Structure 1
């Protein structure tokens, strides 16, 4: 009596392709769902919402394509803080900011961030 054993089959290697696909899909999902960087928020008031009458000298900062103006007088970003400090009694006095048509949002935000860094906390955005 003779037994014949079957030829041993080579081991099948599992396919890693489906696992790699799932890992890449998870990577794409988390990259799209993640928040990169910090979101900044600006405390803005819209002109016309004030409950009291305006007091003190005018403090209008106009951001134009050709430069910055305070009450119609040209100024530079470095001299903006000094010029406004002469017009305000405290840093909580309101400062009106108006950006002309065509001025980029980033430029407006840069000027506002500079004023906030200088200590001016009461910024009011005026529509052009």
Structure 2
């Protein structure tokens, strides 16, 4: 038989490099993540058959593809929406119903809701189109 020399003791794997990598990943994800609260819109979702009877004039804002708007079935320019709604409302706490038509994107709905919120309207309700 061949003699290759003395057998060396097997080295155990060191955990130090793995701990270093885990620590670096931890620091990376802590620095890359956001810890602030996200801005959001508060919408009330209308459930069929629930809630009180409607009071006051109708305030239905329909949003179509491309951001086209209708207020109570009448076409309206987006910049004139807040002014047109002001004549139908007694105060900023009155409900405004938002409904997306076929082809409308979520961003169109969000843009209208943000514009109404910026105009001081606080009670926006979202309904599903029939």
- Per the normalisation by structure 2, the TM-score is 0.70
**Highest CA radius of gyration, 1 or 2?**
1
Displacement over 4 Å in runs of 4+: 20-24
Residue matched to 1:56: 56
What are structure 1's unaligned runs of at least 5 residues? Answer: 1-17
Deviation of 1:29 (Å): 2.6
In 2: Cα distance, 1:117 partner to 1:49 partner: 30
Paired residues for 1:43-122 under 5 Å:
43-47=42-46, 48=48, 51-65=51-65, 67-122=68-123
Q: CA–CA distance in 1 between the matches of 2:52 and 2:25?
A: 57
Residue 13 (structure 2) aligns with: none
Give the 3-state SS of the residue equivalent to 1:61 in structure 2. strand
- The CA deviation string for residues 78-117 of structure 1, in whole angstroms up to 9 with x for no partner, is 1001110111111111000001233221221111011011
Residues 122 and 49 (structure 1 numbering): CA distance in 2 closer, same or farther, change over 3 Å? Answer: farther
Q: Please list every run of 5 or more consecutive structure 2 residues that lacks an aligned counterpart in the other structure.
A: 1-16
Q: Quote the offset at 1:30 in angstroms.
A: 3.1
Distance verdict in 2 for CA 1:126–1:22, change over 3 Å: closer
CA–CA separation in structure 2 for the residues paired with 1:126 and 1:74: 19
How many residue pairs align between the two structures?
Answer: 110
Deviations 1:35-60 (A, max 9, x none): 28751222111114763210111100
